[in-house]
């Protein structure tokens, strides 16, 4: 595996692969890799002859009071893991390489209808930062396929829409969330949890699972399903940002019957802000709920 830190060298490597007509699959990450990321790299091997992973903690997607400085950085372990997973290239740029003019004042990518809802309502500017860095990375790596985890469901949706709107020639593939045995979705931010918080954290998954079962059994009372989710999280000691049912493809408020939906939640447990979601088919007639809790 080659570790590349400059755009010039990355472009040269990609150019050689393209000349040899080798397909490229790409896994963008912020590092501190775990089994969830490993599954993305595994999926990448199914989609491309060459596999590129990037590790870049993107300052543009962190708010002023968020954890950019504290975000776990483990480049040596990440590099070892990626080597073991058979990645061809690790792209590990510095902030100045990705943002030579700084992070303010440059072009940004925004999907206005989607960047202000759900997590976007609590993290202003976050999804503009994500979409911008992802479009830059896609332009640099020029992959045939790029793989993103379904755990960041809103992110995945925003990336799909950006790629479609900007006519980028890449296929976006979502990979299933990897969970601990007790249901907790793997996340780099889980390391912020102490032992007591870690023991309570799977309640997020359980609350989502309860909502999923209600929806699958034909219960269409979206307002009550969301209320119950918020209450369950509070009872487990979380401070919920939201617990909402949305249409799976568009993230619009849910309506209709026998439709694909996703239940999404974000909640704080002390320092950690955890997100998770579950998709399902809502069997009953969904009654419109007033958005926001
Ligand atoms: O999901 C992540 O790790 C990041 O948001 C991403 C997609 C790598 C962009 O920085």
Q: What is the pLDDT of residues 137-166, one digit of tens each?
A: 999 999 999 999 999 999 999 999 999 999
Residues marked as catalytic:
37
Per-residue confidence band for 67, with pLDDT thresholds at 50, 70 and 90: very high
| 8 A C-beta contact, residue 28 and residue 135 | no
Distance, CA of 83 to CA of 250 (rounded, Å): 36
Atom of ligand 1 nearest to the CA of 149: 1
Q: What is the pLDDT of residues 228-263, one digit of tens each?
A: 999 999 999 999 999 999 999 999 999 999 999 999
Q: Which two tokens stand for residue 46?
A: 């199914």
Cβ burial 71-109 (10 Å sphere, 16+ → b, else e): beeeeeebbebbeebebbbbbbbeeeebbeeebeeeeeb
Bridge partners, 262 (sequence order):
246, 279
Bridge partners, 53 (sequence order):
27, 90
Q: What does the pLDDT read at residue 240?
A: 98
Q: What does the pLDDT read at residue 62?
A: 97
Domain 188-280 fold is 3.30.1300
Atom of ligand 1 nearest to the CA of 152: 1
Q: What does the pLDDT read at residue 288?
A: 75
Report domain extents, the chain: 2-175, 188-280
Most ligand 1 atoms within 8 A of CB, residue of 71, 152, 273 to mutate: 152
Q: Which two tokens stand for residue 253?
A: 């408020």
Atom of ligand 1 nearest to the CA of 58: 10
| 8 A C-beta contact, residue 266 and residue 117 | no
Mean pLDDT score across all residues of the chain: 97
Bridge partners, 175 (sequence order):
149
Q: How far is the CA of 108 from the centre of ligand 1 (A)?
A: 16
Distance, CA of 118 to CA of 120 (rounded, Å): 5
Q: What does the pLDDT read at residue 290?
A: 60
How many Cα atoms occupy the beta-carbon half-sphere of 17 within 13 Å?
21
- Please give the C-alpha separations between residue 10 and each of 19, 151, 195, in angstroms, as whole numbers: 14, 28, 41
Q: Is the dihedral of CA 98, 99, 101, 105 positive or negative?
A: positive
Mean pLDDT, range 189-209, rounded to an integer: 97
Distance, CA of 27 to CA of 44 (rounded, Å): 7
Distance, CA of 85 to CA of 45 (rounded, Å): 9
Q: What does the pLDDT read at residue 293?
A: 46
Q: Which two tokens stand for residue 188?
A: 């780099």
50-55 and 89-91 strand pairing: parallel
Q: Which two tokens stand for residue 7?
A: 């755009």
Q: What does the pLDDT read at residue 35?
A: 97
171-175 and 89-91 strand pairing: unpaired
| 188-280 matches 2-175 in CATH topology | no
Share of the chain above pLDDT 70, in %: 98
Q: Which two tokens stand for residue 54?
A: 């990037």
Q: How far is the CA of 61 from the centre of ligand 1 (A)?
A: 9
Mean pLDDT, range 40-50, rounded to an integer: 98
Per-residue confidence band for 77, with pLDDT thresholds at 50, 70 and 90: very high
At the top level of CATH, the class of 2-175 is alpha beta
- Find the DSSP H helices in 189-292: 195-200, 203-216, 222-235
Q: How far is the CA of 219 from the centre of ligand 1 (A)?
A: 34
How many Cα atoms occupy the beta-carbon half-sphere of 189 within 13 Å?
19
């Amino acid at each position: 595996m080659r570790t590349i830190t400059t755009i010039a060298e990355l472009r040269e490597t990609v150019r050689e692969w393209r000349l040899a007509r080798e397909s490229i699959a790409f896994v963008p990450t912020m590092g501190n890799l775990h089994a969830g990321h490993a599954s993305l790299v595994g999926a990448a091997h199914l989609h491309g002859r060459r596999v590129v992973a990037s590790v870049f903690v993107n300052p543009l997607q962190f708010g002023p009071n968020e954890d950019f400085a504290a975000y776990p950085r483990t480049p040596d372990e990440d590099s070892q893991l990626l080597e073991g997973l058979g990645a061809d290239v690790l792209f590990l740029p510095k902030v100045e390489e990705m943002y030579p003019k700084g992070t303010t004042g440059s072009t940004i990518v925004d999907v206005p209808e989607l960047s202000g809802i759900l997590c976007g309502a609590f993290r202003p500017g976050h999804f503009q930062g994500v979409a911008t860095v992802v479009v830059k990375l896609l332009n640099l790596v020029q992959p045939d396929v790029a793989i993103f985890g379904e755990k960041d469901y809103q992110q995945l949706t925003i990336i799909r829409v950006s790629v479609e709107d900007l006519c980028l020639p890449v296929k976006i593939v979502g990979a299933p969330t990897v969970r601990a045995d007790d249901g907790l979705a793997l996340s780099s931010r889980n390391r912020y949890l102490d032992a007591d918080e870690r023991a309570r954290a799977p309640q997020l998954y359980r609350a989502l699972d309860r909502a999923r079962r209600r929806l699958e059994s034909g219960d269409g009372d979206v307002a009550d399903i969301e209320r119950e989710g918020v209450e369950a999280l509070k009872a487990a000691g979380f401070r919920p940002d939201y617990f909402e049912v949305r249409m799976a493809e568009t993230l619009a408020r849910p309506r209709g019957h026998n439709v694909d939906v996703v239940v999404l939640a974000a909640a704080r447990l002390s320092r950690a802000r955890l997100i998770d979601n579950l998709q399902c088919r809502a069997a009953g007639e969904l009654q419109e709920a007033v958005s926001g809790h």
